[in-house]
Amino acid sequence: MKNLRISGNEKISLIGNMATMLGAGIPMFEAVEALLVDSKGGTKKILEQLQEDLTAGHHIHTNFARFPRVFDKISVNLIKAAEEAGKLEVILLDLRNNLQKEMEFTDRIRSALTYPILVLIVFILVIFTMLIVVIPKISTVFSRLKMDLPLPTKILIFVSNALLTYWPLILTFSIISLVTVYFLYRQKKEVFLSMVFSLPLVSRLMQEIDVTRFTRSMHLLLSSGIPFVYALELAQEVVLKKEVSQIIRSARELAQEGKQFSQALRTKVGVFPSVAVKLIEVGEKTGQLDKSMGDISEQMDYTVSRTLASVTSLLEPLMLVFVGISVGAMMMAIIAPIYGLIGQVGQR
Protein backbone atom coordinates (compact mmCIF):
# COMPACT_ATOMS: atom_id res chain seq x y z
CA MET A 1 0.00 0.00 0.00
CA LYS A 2 2.89 2.37 0.69
CA ASN A 3 4.10 2.10 -2.92
CA LEU A 4 0.67 2.28 -4.56
CA ARG A 5 0.24 5.09 -7.10
CA ILE A 6 -2.65 6.42 -9.16
CA SER A 7 -2.68 9.10 -11.83
CA GLY A 8 -3.61 12.71 -11.12
CA ASN A 9 -6.88 12.38 -13.04
CA GLU A 10 -7.83 9.24 -11.09
CA LYS A 11 -7.09 11.01 -7.81
CA ILE A 12 -9.18 14.06 -8.78
CA SER A 13 -12.03 11.81 -9.95
CA LEU A 14 -11.96 9.78 -6.71
CA ILE A 15 -12.04 12.80 -4.40
CA GLY A 16 -14.56 14.65 -6.59
CA ASN A 17 -16.97 11.69 -6.67
CA MET A 18 -16.73 11.31 -2.88
CA ALA A 19 -17.49 15.01 -2.41
CA THR A 20 -20.45 14.90 -4.83
CA MET A 21 -22.02 11.85 -3.21
CA LEU A 22 -21.55 13.20 0.32
CA GLY A 23 -23.04 16.52 -0.79
CA ALA A 24 -26.08 14.61 -2.07
CA GLY A 25 -26.62 13.15 1.41
CA ILE A 26 -25.27 9.66 0.68
CA PRO A 27 -23.38 8.11 3.65
CA MET A 28 -19.70 7.48 3.06
CA PHE A 29 -20.00 3.69 3.32
CA GLU A 30 -22.71 3.60 0.62
CA ALA A 31 -20.69 6.03 -1.51
CA VAL A 32 -17.68 3.72 -1.35
CA GLU A 33 -19.82 0.72 -2.33
CA ALA A 34 -21.18 2.63 -5.32
CA LEU A 35 -17.73 3.79 -6.43
CA LEU A 36 -16.31 0.26 -6.19
CA VAL A 37 -18.64 -0.96 -8.96
CA ASP A 38 -16.83 0.93 -11.74
CA SER A 39 -13.40 1.32 -10.15
CA LYS A 40 -10.27 -0.53 -11.22
CA GLY A 41 -6.53 -0.69 -10.63
CA GLY A 42 -5.10 1.37 -7.79
CA THR A 43 -8.35 3.24 -7.20
CA LYS A 44 -10.15 -0.04 -6.53
CA LYS A 45 -7.49 -1.09 -4.00
CA ILE A 46 -7.85 2.24 -2.17
CA LEU A 47 -11.65 1.92 -2.05
CA GLU A 48 -11.51 -1.71 -0.90
CA GLN A 49 -9.16 -0.74 1.93
CA LEU A 50 -11.39 2.24 2.77
CA GLN A 51 -14.39 -0.07 2.95
CA GLU A 52 -12.53 -2.34 5.39
CA ASP A 53 -11.43 0.64 7.51
CA LEU A 54 -14.94 2.08 7.67
CA THR A 55 -16.31 -1.33 8.66
CA ALA A 56 -13.69 -1.50 11.43
CA GLY A 57 -14.73 1.97 12.64
CA HIS A 58 -11.62 3.82 11.48
CA HIS A 59 -11.61 7.39 10.20
CA ILE A 60 -11.17 8.27 6.52
CA HIS A 61 -7.89 10.14 7.12
CA THR A 62 -6.48 6.93 8.62
CA ASN A 63 -7.15 5.21 5.33
CA PHE A 64 -5.61 8.05 3.30
CA ALA A 65 -2.47 7.89 5.46
CA ARG A 66 -1.96 4.26 4.33
CA PHE A 67 -1.22 5.51 0.79
CA PRO A 68 1.55 8.15 1.13
CA ARG A 69 2.34 8.14 -2.61
CA VAL A 70 -1.28 9.01 -3.40
CA PHE A 71 -2.25 11.32 -0.54
CA ASP A 72 0.42 13.62 0.88
CA LYS A 73 0.48 14.91 4.46
CA ILE A 74 -1.45 18.03 3.50
CA SER A 75 -4.35 15.98 2.10
CA VAL A 76 -4.38 13.64 5.11
CA ASN A 77 -4.44 16.51 7.62
CA LEU A 78 -7.14 18.35 5.66
CA ILE A 79 -9.37 15.28 5.77
CA LYS A 80 -8.64 14.85 9.48
CA ALA A 81 -9.61 18.46 10.21
CA ALA A 82 -12.72 18.11 8.05
CA GLU A 83 -13.86 15.00 9.89
CA GLU A 84 -13.38 16.72 13.24
CA ALA A 85 -15.26 19.83 12.07
CA GLY A 86 -18.04 17.85 10.35
CA LYS A 87 -17.59 19.45 6.93
CA LEU A 88 -15.99 16.63 4.97
CA GLU A 89 -17.82 17.26 1.68
CA VAL A 90 -16.72 20.92 1.66
CA ILE A 91 -13.06 20.09 2.26
CA LEU A 92 -13.16 17.30 -0.33
CA LEU A 93 -14.42 19.80 -2.91
CA ASP A 94 -11.71 22.29 -1.93
CA LEU A 95 -9.11 19.54 -2.14
CA ARG A 96 -10.35 18.49 -5.58
CA ASN A 97 -10.20 22.09 -6.84
CA ASN A 98 -6.70 22.48 -5.41
CA LEU A 99 -5.55 19.27 -7.11
CA GLN A 100 -6.98 20.49 -10.41
CA LYS A 101 -5.10 23.78 -10.12
CA GLU A 102 -1.90 21.97 -9.16
CA MET A 103 -2.27 19.58 -12.11
CA GLU A 104 -2.93 22.43 -14.56
CA PHE A 105 0.06 24.26 -13.08
CA THR A 106 2.32 21.22 -13.56
CA ASP A 107 1.01 20.63 -17.10
CA ARG A 108 1.95 24.18 -18.09
CA ILE A 109 5.50 23.61 -16.86
CA ARG A 110 5.78 20.29 -18.72
CA SER A 111 4.41 21.71 -21.96
CA ALA A 112 6.90 24.60 -21.77
CA LEU A 113 9.79 22.13 -21.43
CA THR A 114 8.59 19.71 -24.11
CA TYR A 115 10.04 21.56 -27.11
CA PRO A 116 13.58 22.07 -25.71
CA ILE A 117 13.74 18.43 -24.58
CA LEU A 118 12.52 17.23 -28.01
CA VAL A 119 15.16 19.35 -29.76
CA LEU A 120 17.86 17.93 -27.46
CA ILE A 121 16.78 14.33 -28.14
CA VAL A 122 16.75 14.90 -31.92
CA PHE A 123 20.19 16.53 -31.69
CA ILE A 124 21.64 13.52 -29.82
CA LEU A 125 20.12 11.11 -32.36
CA VAL A 126 21.56 13.11 -35.28
CA ILE A 127 25.03 13.16 -33.68
CA PHE A 128 25.01 9.41 -33.03
CA THR A 129 23.73 8.69 -36.55
CA MET A 130 26.55 10.71 -38.08
CA LEU A 131 29.18 9.10 -35.85
CA ILE A 132 27.97 5.52 -36.40
CA VAL A 133 26.77 5.62 -40.05
CA VAL A 134 28.21 8.60 -41.94
CA ILE A 135 31.71 9.04 -40.47
CA PRO A 136 32.82 5.35 -40.93
CA LYS A 137 32.01 5.44 -44.67
CA ILE A 138 33.81 8.73 -45.20
CA SER A 139 36.82 7.69 -43.11
CA THR A 140 37.22 4.60 -45.35
CA VAL A 141 37.45 6.85 -48.39
CA PHE A 142 39.95 9.15 -46.68
CA SER A 143 42.15 6.24 -45.57
CA ARG A 144 42.29 4.86 -49.14
CA LEU A 145 43.31 8.22 -50.51
CA LYS A 146 45.91 8.60 -47.73
CA MET A 147 44.97 12.23 -47.20
CA ASP A 148 46.42 14.56 -44.61
CA LEU A 149 43.28 15.30 -42.51
CA PRO A 150 42.65 18.38 -40.34
CA LEU A 151 42.48 17.92 -36.56
CA PRO A 152 38.61 18.19 -36.24
CA THR A 153 38.20 15.44 -38.84
CA LYS A 154 40.72 13.21 -37.04
CA ILE A 155 38.84 13.72 -33.77
CA LEU A 156 35.52 12.76 -35.40
CA ILE A 157 37.03 9.61 -36.94
CA PHE A 158 38.65 8.67 -33.61
CA VAL A 159 35.34 9.06 -31.71
CA SER A 160 33.47 7.12 -34.41
CA ASN A 161 35.98 4.25 -34.34
CA ALA A 162 35.87 4.18 -30.53
CA LEU A 163 32.08 3.93 -30.55
CA LEU A 164 32.08 1.10 -33.10
CA THR A 165 35.01 -0.83 -31.60
CA TYR A 166 34.41 -0.45 -27.87
CA TRP A 167 30.62 -0.09 -27.82
CA PRO A 168 30.09 -2.93 -25.27
CA LEU A 169 32.53 -1.23 -22.88
CA ILE A 170 31.02 2.22 -23.50
CA LEU A 171 27.48 0.89 -23.05
CA THR A 172 28.43 -0.85 -19.79
CA PHE A 173 30.17 2.28 -18.50
CA SER A 174 27.13 4.42 -19.44
CA ILE A 175 24.72 2.10 -17.62
CA ILE A 176 26.94 2.01 -14.52
CA SER A 177 27.24 5.80 -14.59
CA LEU A 178 23.47 6.27 -14.89
CA VAL A 179 22.81 3.84 -12.03
CA THR A 180 25.45 5.56 -9.90
CA VAL A 181 23.97 9.00 -10.60
CA TYR A 182 20.49 7.65 -9.77
CA PHE A 183 21.56 6.28 -6.39
CA LEU A 184 23.59 9.41 -5.60
CA TYR A 185 20.48 11.45 -6.45
CA ARG A 186 18.42 9.32 -4.06
CA GLN A 187 20.99 9.78 -1.30
CA LYS A 188 21.96 13.42 -1.99
CA LYS A 189 18.80 14.76 -3.58
CA GLU A 190 19.15 18.21 -2.05
CA VAL A 191 22.68 18.65 -3.46
CA PHE A 192 21.57 17.73 -6.99
CA LEU A 193 18.49 19.95 -6.82
CA SER A 194 20.48 22.91 -5.49
CA MET A 195 22.87 22.57 -8.44
CA VAL A 196 20.02 22.51 -10.95
CA PHE A 197 18.11 25.32 -9.23
CA SER A 198 21.19 27.55 -9.25
CA LEU A 199 21.24 27.70 -13.06
CA PRO A 200 20.54 31.22 -14.40
CA LEU A 201 17.26 30.51 -16.20
CA VAL A 202 16.00 27.99 -13.65
CA SER A 203 16.70 29.77 -10.36
CA ARG A 204 14.11 32.54 -10.58
CA LEU A 205 11.50 30.26 -12.12
CA MET A 206 11.81 27.64 -9.36
CA GLN A 207 11.61 30.36 -6.73
CA GLU A 208 8.32 31.61 -8.18
CA ILE A 209 6.98 28.05 -8.47
CA ASP A 210 7.82 27.39 -4.79
CA VAL A 211 6.08 30.59 -3.65
CA THR A 212 3.01 29.69 -5.73
CA ARG A 213 2.72 26.16 -4.36
CA PHE A 214 3.44 27.29 -0.79
CA THR A 215 0.79 30.05 -0.75
CA ARG A 216 -1.79 27.78 -2.41
CA SER A 217 -1.17 25.07 0.19
CA MET A 218 -1.33 27.61 3.04
CA HIS A 219 -4.63 28.97 1.72
CA LEU A 220 -6.14 25.49 1.69
CA LEU A 221 -4.78 24.54 5.12
CA LEU A 222 -5.77 27.77 6.89
CA SER A 223 -9.23 27.74 5.29
CA SER A 224 -9.73 24.26 6.71
CA GLY A 225 -8.92 25.34 10.26
CA ILE A 226 -5.41 23.87 10.53
CA PRO A 227 -3.36 25.78 13.17
CA PHE A 228 -1.00 28.29 11.59
CA VAL A 229 2.30 26.85 12.89
CA TYR A 230 1.35 23.30 11.89
CA ALA A 231 0.16 24.57 8.49
CA LEU A 232 3.61 26.12 7.94
CA GLU A 233 5.24 22.79 8.76
CA LEU A 234 3.04 20.95 6.26
CA ALA A 235 3.31 23.57 3.51
CA GLN A 236 7.09 23.61 3.80
CA GLU A 237 7.17 20.10 2.32
CA VAL A 238 5.85 21.30 -1.07
CA VAL A 239 8.83 23.67 -1.45
CA LEU A 240 11.84 22.41 -3.42
CA LYS A 241 14.35 25.27 -3.30
CA LYS A 242 16.47 25.31 -0.14
CA GLU A 243 16.47 29.11 0.15
CA VAL A 244 12.66 29.29 0.24
CA SER A 245 12.48 26.36 2.67
CA GLN A 246 14.86 28.11 5.09
CA ILE A 247 12.71 31.26 5.09
CA ILE A 248 9.58 29.24 5.86
CA ARG A 249 11.43 27.45 8.69
CA SER A 250 12.50 30.81 10.13
CA ALA A 251 8.94 32.08 9.84
CA ARG A 252 7.66 29.03 11.72
CA GLU A 253 10.15 29.66 14.54
CA LEU A 254 9.07 33.30 14.77
CA ALA A 255 5.41 32.28 14.77
CA GLN A 256 6.09 29.90 17.65
CA GLU A 257 7.53 32.86 19.55
CA GLY A 258 4.36 34.85 18.90
CA LYS A 259 5.86 37.14 16.26
CA GLN A 260 4.44 38.00 12.85
CA PHE A 261 5.00 35.69 9.91
CA SER A 262 5.70 38.63 7.58
CA GLN A 263 8.76 39.63 9.64
CA ALA A 264 10.62 36.50 8.57
CA LEU A 265 9.81 37.12 4.90
CA ARG A 266 11.58 40.48 5.07
CA THR A 267 14.84 38.92 6.27
CA LYS A 268 15.59 37.70 2.73
CA VAL A 269 14.70 40.37 0.19
CA GLY A 270 13.74 39.17 -3.27
CA VAL A 271 12.55 35.66 -2.45
CA PHE A 272 8.94 36.58 -1.67
CA PRO A 273 7.69 39.52 -3.78
CA SER A 274 7.19 42.74 -1.83
CA VAL A 275 3.50 42.78 -2.80
CA ALA A 276 3.09 39.26 -1.38
CA VAL A 277 4.79 40.27 1.88
CA LYS A 278 2.50 43.30 2.20
CA LEU A 279 -0.62 41.20 1.55
CA ILE A 280 0.50 38.69 4.19
CA GLU A 281 1.10 41.51 6.67
CA VAL A 282 -2.40 42.90 6.01
CA GLY A 283 -3.87 39.40 6.31
CA GLU A 284 -2.23 38.92 9.70
CA LYS A 285 -3.59 42.23 10.98
CA THR A 286 -7.14 41.65 9.70
CA GLY A 287 -7.32 37.95 10.58
CA GLN A 288 -7.80 37.01 6.91
CA LEU A 289 -4.45 35.42 6.23
CA ASP A 290 -6.06 32.51 4.36
CA LYS A 291 -7.65 34.93 1.89
CA SER A 292 -4.35 36.78 1.46
CA MET A 293 -2.60 33.49 0.70
CA GLY A 294 -5.25 32.66 -1.90
CA ASP A 295 -4.86 36.05 -3.59
CA ILE A 296 -1.07 35.68 -3.66
CA SER A 297 -1.27 32.18 -5.16
CA GLU A 298 -3.53 33.43 -7.96
CA GLN A 299 -1.17 36.32 -8.75
CA MET A 300 1.93 34.09 -8.57
CA ASP A 301 0.24 31.56 -10.87
CA TYR A 302 0.03 34.28 -13.53
CA THR A 303 3.62 35.37 -12.81
CA VAL A 304 4.93 31.82 -13.28
CA SER A 305 3.07 31.49 -16.58
CA ARG A 306 4.62 34.75 -17.78
CA THR A 307 8.12 33.70 -16.65
CA LEU A 308 7.70 30.30 -18.32
CA ALA A 309 6.78 32.01 -21.58
CA SER A 310 9.84 34.28 -21.33
CA VAL A 311 12.22 31.40 -20.49
CA THR A 312 10.81 29.25 -23.29
CA SER A 313 11.02 32.05 -25.86
CA LEU A 314 14.67 32.56 -24.87
CA LEU A 315 15.56 28.87 -24.59
CA GLU A 316 14.19 27.82 -27.99
CA PRO A 317 16.47 30.02 -30.14
CA LEU A 318 19.45 29.23 -27.90
CA MET A 319 18.83 25.51 -28.41
CA LEU A 320 18.49 25.97 -32.18
CA VAL A 321 21.72 28.02 -32.34
CA PHE A 322 23.57 25.39 -30.28
CA VAL A 323 22.29 22.54 -32.48
CA GLY A 324 23.05 24.48 -35.65
CA ILE A 325 26.62 25.31 -34.60
CA SER A 326 27.31 21.72 -33.43
CA VAL A 327 25.93 20.03 -36.56
CA GLY A 328 27.53 22.68 -38.77
CA ALA A 329 30.92 22.13 -37.15
CA MET A 330 30.64 18.39 -37.76
CA MET A 331 29.66 18.95 -41.39
CA MET A 332 32.59 21.34 -41.90
CA ALA A 333 34.94 18.73 -40.42
CA ILE A 334 33.64 16.29 -43.06
CA ILE A 335 33.46 18.69 -46.00
CA ALA A 336 36.82 20.46 -45.47
CA PRO A 337 38.97 17.46 -46.54
CA ILE A 338 36.70 16.91 -49.54
CA TYR A 339 37.23 20.51 -50.66
CA GLY A 340 40.93 20.02 -50.14
CA LEU A 341 40.84 16.92 -52.35
CA ILE A 342 38.90 18.75 -55.06
CA GLY A 343 41.46 21.58 -54.93
CA GLN A 344 44.33 19.09 -55.40
CA VAL A 345 42.57 17.48 -58.39
CA GLY A 346 41.96 20.91 -59.91
CA GLN A 347 45.68 21.80 -59.61
CA ARG A 348 46.65 18.58 -61.39
Give the CATH number of the domain where residue 131 resides: 1.20.81.30
Count of domains forming the chain:
2
- For the four alpha carbons of 146, 151, 157 and 163, in that order, the dihedral sign comes to positive
pLDDT at site 176: 92
Angle subtended by helix axes 88-129 and 289-347, to nearest 10: 10
Q: What domain range is 34 assigned to? A: 8-71
- H or E stretch including 151? helix 151-165
284 burial via Cβ count (<10 Å: 0-12, 13-18, 19+): middle
Is position 79 within any domain? Answer: no
Residues 145 and 264 in one domain: yes
Q: Which amino acid is at 327?
A: V
Q: Which amino acid is at 130?
A: M
pLDDT at site 346: 52
Is position 2 within any domain? Answer: no
Overall average pLDDT of the 307-327 stretch: 81
pLDDT tens, residue by residue, 54-91: 888 888 888 888 888 888 888 888 888 888 777 888 88
Residues 317 and 225 in one domain: yes
pLDDT beyond 70 at 39: yes
* Residue 113 binned pLDDT confidence (cut-offs 50, 70, 90): confident
- Within 8 A by CB and 6+ apart from 299, the residues are 275, 276
Would you mind telling me the total number of residues written for the chain in this entry? 348
pLDDT at site 189: 67
Overall average pLDDT of the 179-202 stretch: 73
Percent of the chain past pLDDT 70, that is, above it, reads 93
How does the average pLDDT of the chain come out, rounded?
A: 82
Residues 216 and 126 in one domain: yes
Q: Is 68 helix (H, G, I), strand (E, B) or coil?
A: coil
Residues 269 and 311 in one domain: yes
Overall average pLDDT of the 284-312 stretch: 84
Q: Which amino acid is at 318?
A: L
pLDDT beyond 70 at 348: no
Is position 67 within any domain? Answer: yes
Question: Is the backbone of residue 150 left (phi > 0), alpha (psi -120 to 50) or beta?
Answer: beta
- Global pTM reads 0.73
